[in-house]
Chain A
């Protein structure tokens, strides 16, 4: 098996666009668009580990404001948030290129702090 070792991959036609052949060998998929651009694991309203996060702020019970280190190109990213409660959400109103608001609600819609939570974000970086 051949192996290429490098620290950085860049497209030759478009720097931010590299195609990789799919598993079935018949189609290609865009490498950059498929990569998760942000992920976060938090506990007790504070970061445990993360990628591309510059700050996590506890702004109230059940609310975490997160800031991305490298912003998205637009606010139409696809985000996911899970916790140990019934209703983990991403705020519609606070969706921006550089920030997101994680909300955590119980079954009565009340905001509550999660014991721990996970979030990922896919989309185009700026």
Chain B
């Protein structure tokens, strides 16, 4: 088996190299919104900001090229005796103001089963996000 050793790989033109039919994630974070909001593990994120219960802004270290990146997100399972549905949403804000090339904002929502209007923010001990897209 041949092994190629290098610290940095570029295309011959100095740009991004093509990984045959594959793309690597550009950032990931595992964080908690329990007070205090904190980072558990991460790659290419610089900070998390607590905007209130279940409301968090995550800053990206090396910026994305545009705001059209994808953010798969996931909640941990810690307490399920509340008879409701928990989801993590990416908040775009009015006109997309909450999603920029350098930050995105998440909301952890609890929806009470049987009520279409009962939706509240809540904190969660584990929440995970991954960022896929083009770097600046």
Contacts and interface: CB of A to CB of B under 8 A. Distances in A.
B4 A10 contact: yes
A108 B111 CA distance: 11
The dominant DSSP class at the A interface is: loop
B41 A23 contact: no
Nearest to A88: B74
Given A24-B65, A103-B77, A122-B28, A19 B135 contact: no
Interface stretch (B9-17, B49-57, B91-99): B9-17
Nearest to B10: A21
Nearest to B126: A92
Contacts of A23: 15-16, 65, 134-135
A29 B65 CA distance: 13
Contacts of A93: 78
A17 to B, nearest CB: 8
B74 A28 contact: no
Contact of A31 (B9, B11, B85): B9
B116 interface: no
A13 B7 CA distance: 6
Interface string B38-60: 00111110000000000000000
A19 B8 contact: yes
A25 interface: yes
Given A20-B16, A21-B15, A33-B43, A4 B24 contact: no
B129 interface: yes
Nearest to B131: A34
Contacts of A124: 41
B122 interface: no
A30 B82 CA distance: 41
Nearest to A80: B74
B85 A87 contact: yes
Interface of A: 1-2, 4-14, 17-31, 33-36, 74, 76-81, 86-87, 89-93, 95, 103, 105, 107-109, 120, 122-124
24 contacts: A5-B2, A6-B4, A9-B4, A12-B6, A12-B7, A18-B9, A21-B16, A24-B65, A24-B134, A24-B136, A26-B135, A27-B135, A34-B24, A77-B30, A79-B128, A80-B73, A80-B128, A92-B77, A93-B78, A105-B80, A107-B85, A108-B83, A109-B84, A124-B41
